[in-house]
Structure 1
Amino acid sequence: MKTGSVEPAPTSLVKVTRYQVVRRLTRAAAHSDDQLVAEAAALAEGWAVLVDLMGGVVCSAPHAAGPEGVRAATHPQLHPNLTIRKMAGAVLVIAPGTASPASRIGLVARTTVDLLRMRARVRRAEEAHHAEQRLHTAVLHLLLSGQPHLATDVLGGAAVTHATVFRLAGQSVHTAYQTYWRAAQPSMSFANPRMLVCMEGGHELVIVALHGVGHDRHSAHPLVTRIADRHHLTGGISDPLPLDMVAAAWAEAGNARHGATVGRLASAACLGSHALLRVVPAHRLAAWSAALLHPLDREQHRTLETYLRSGSAQAAASVLDVCDGTVRTRLRGIGKLLAADLDNPTVQAQLLLAVRAPAAPVGISSSAHLVPAPPLPTDLLNPDDARRWASALLEPLDRPLRIALRCWLQHRGRTAPAAADLSLSRSTLTDWLSKCGRALSLDLSSATVRSELHLAAETIATPDDAPALLPRRGGRTYREQRA
Structure 2
Amino acid sequence: MTARGSGRARPVSAPGPRPVDPRDHLAVRRLTHAATHSAALLIAEAAVLAEGWVVLVDPVAGPVHSAPPGAGPSGARAAASPQAYPQLTVHHVAGGVLVLGPGRATSPERAALIARTTADLLRVRARRADETSRAEQRLHTAILRLLLAGEHRLAVDVLGGTTATHATVYRLTGHAAPVAHQALWRAARPGTADPRVLICLERGELVVLALHDGGTELAGRHPAHPLIAGVAERHRLTGASAAPVPLDMVPAAWPEAGSPVPGPAGDRLGSAVGLGAGELLRVIPADRLAAWASAVLGPLGHERRRILECRLRTGSALAAAGALGLSEGTVRSRLRAVGTLLAVDLDDPTVQARLLLALRAPAGSPPVPGAGPVAAPGVPSRPAVPTALLTPDEARRWAADVLEPLDTRLRIALRQWLLHRGRTAPAAAALGVHRSTLTAWLTECGGLLGVDLSSATVRSELHLALETAAGPGDDASALPRRGGRTYRAPRL
Query: What's the TM-score, normalizing by structure 1?
Result: 0.70
Cα deviation per residue 1:416-464 (whole Å; 9 max; x = unaligned)?
A: 0000000000000111111111222222111111111111111111121
Residues in 2 aligned to 1:124 and 1:370: alpha-carbon distance in whole angstroms? 56
User: Structure 1 unaligned runs (5+)?
Assistant: 1-17, 19-116
1:86 paired residue number: none
Give the Cα–Cα distance (whole angstroms) in 2 for the partners of residues 219 and 374 of structure 1.
35
Q: 2:432 — aligned with what?
A: 423
SS of residue paired to 1:264: coil
**2:361 is aligned with 1:322:** no
The AA in structure 2 aligned to 1:199 is: L
Whether the 8 Å contact between 2:164 and 2:212 is mirrored in structure 1 is yes
Amino acid at match of 1:375: A
Q: Point out 4+ residue stretches in structure 1 off by more than 6 angstroms.
A: 117-123
SS at 2:258 equivalent? helix
Corresponding residue of 1:206: 207
Measure, in 1, the Cα distance between the counterparts of 2:125 and 2:288: 57
Q: Give the Cα separation in 1 of the matches to 2:354 and 2:321.
A: 22
* Partner Cα separation in structure 1 for residue 129 and residue 400 of structure 2: 57
Q: Trace 1:41-440 onto structure 2 (pairs within 5 A).
A: 125-190=129-194, 193-201=195-203, 203-214=204-215, 215-216=217-218, 217-255=221-259, 257=260, 264-362=268-366, 368-371=372-375, 372-440=381-449
Larger radius of gyration: 1
Q: Could you tell me whether the CA contact under 8 Å between 1:230 and 1:263 is conserved in 2? A: no
In 2: Cα distance, 1:350 partner to 1:306 partner: 15
User: CA distance change for structure 1 residues 140 and 469 in 2, over 3 Å: closer, same or farther?
Assistant: same
Measured after TM superposition, the shift of residue 267 of structure 1 is 4.3
Q: How far does the alpha carbon of each residue in 1:186-234 deviate from its partner, in whole angstroms, 9 at most, with x for none?
A: 21334xx432111111x11111122311324533211101011112211
**Would the aligned equivalents of 2:169 and 2:253 in 1 still touch at CA under 8 Å?**
yes
SS at match of 1:291: helix
Partner SS for 1:464:
coil
| DSSP 3-state at the match of 1:208 | strand
Deviation at 1:154, TM superposition (A): 2.2
Measured in 1, the distance between the counterparts of 2:423 and 2:416 equals: 10
Partner of 1:48: none
Residue 327 (structure 1) shift: 1.4
Report how far residue 133 of structure 1 moved.
1.2
**Match runs of 1:455-474 below 5 Å:** 455-474=464-483
Question: CA–CA distance in 1 between the matches of 2:123 and 2:256?
Answer: 43
Distance 2:401 2:230 in 1: 30
Q: What is the one-letter code of the residue matched to 2:283?
A: V
Gap change, CA 1:478 and 1:212, over 3 Å in 2: same
Identity %: 59
Cα drift, residue 279 of structure 1: 1.4
CA distance in 1, matches of 2:284, 2:130: 49
Bigger shift: residues 168-177 or 347-356:
168-177
Report Cα offsets for 1:131-183 as digits up to 9, x if no partner.
11111111112222222332232223222222221111122212211211222
Partner of 1:14: none
The separation in 1 between residues aligned to 2:468 and 2:331, in whole angstroms, is 31
Q: Distance in 2 between matches of 1:377 and 1:481?
A: 32
> Counterpart amino acid of 1:243?
L
* 2:55 equivalent in structure 1: none
Q: Shift of the alpha carbon at 1:283?
A: 1.9
2:209 counterpart letter in structure 1: V
* Cα distance between partner residues in 2 of 1:422 and 1:119: 65
Amino acid at match of 2:156: T
Q: Distance in 2 between matches of 1:441 and 1:293?
A: 31
Aligned in 2, Cα 1:131/1:291: closer, same or farther, shift over 3 Å?
Answer: same
CA contact (8 A) 1:252 1:268 kept: no
**CA, structure 1 residues 156+420, in 2 after alignment: closer, same or farther (shift >3 Å)?**
same
Partner of 1:452: 461
RMSD: 2.6
- Determine the structure 2 residue equivalent to 1:53: none
Do 2:275 and 2:458's aligned partners in 1 also have CA atoms closer than 8 Å?
Answer: yes
Aligned residues between the structures: 366
CA deviation string 1:218-260 (max 9, x = no partner): 33211101011112211221222222222223233223x2566
Amino acid at match of 1:222: P
Are the structure 2 counterparts of residues 154 and 476 from structure 1 closer, same or farther at C-alpha, using a change threshold of 3 Å? same
Q: 2:174–2:238: 8 Å Cα contact kept in structure 1?
A: yes
| Paired residue type of 2:200 | C
Residues 235, 260 of structure 1: 8 Å contact kept: no
> Retained in 1: the 8 A contact 2:446–2:453?
yes
Aligned amino acid, residue 350 of structure 1: R
Could you tell me whether the CA contact under 8 Å between 1:268 and 1:449 is conserved in 2? no
Distance 1:420 1:154, change over 3 A: same
| Partner SS, residue 211 of structure 2 | strand
Q: Which runs of 5+ in 2 are unaligned?
A: 1-16, 18-120, 376-380
Q: Tell me, in whole angstroms, the C-alpha distance in 1 between the residues paired with 2:274 and 2:438.
A: 23
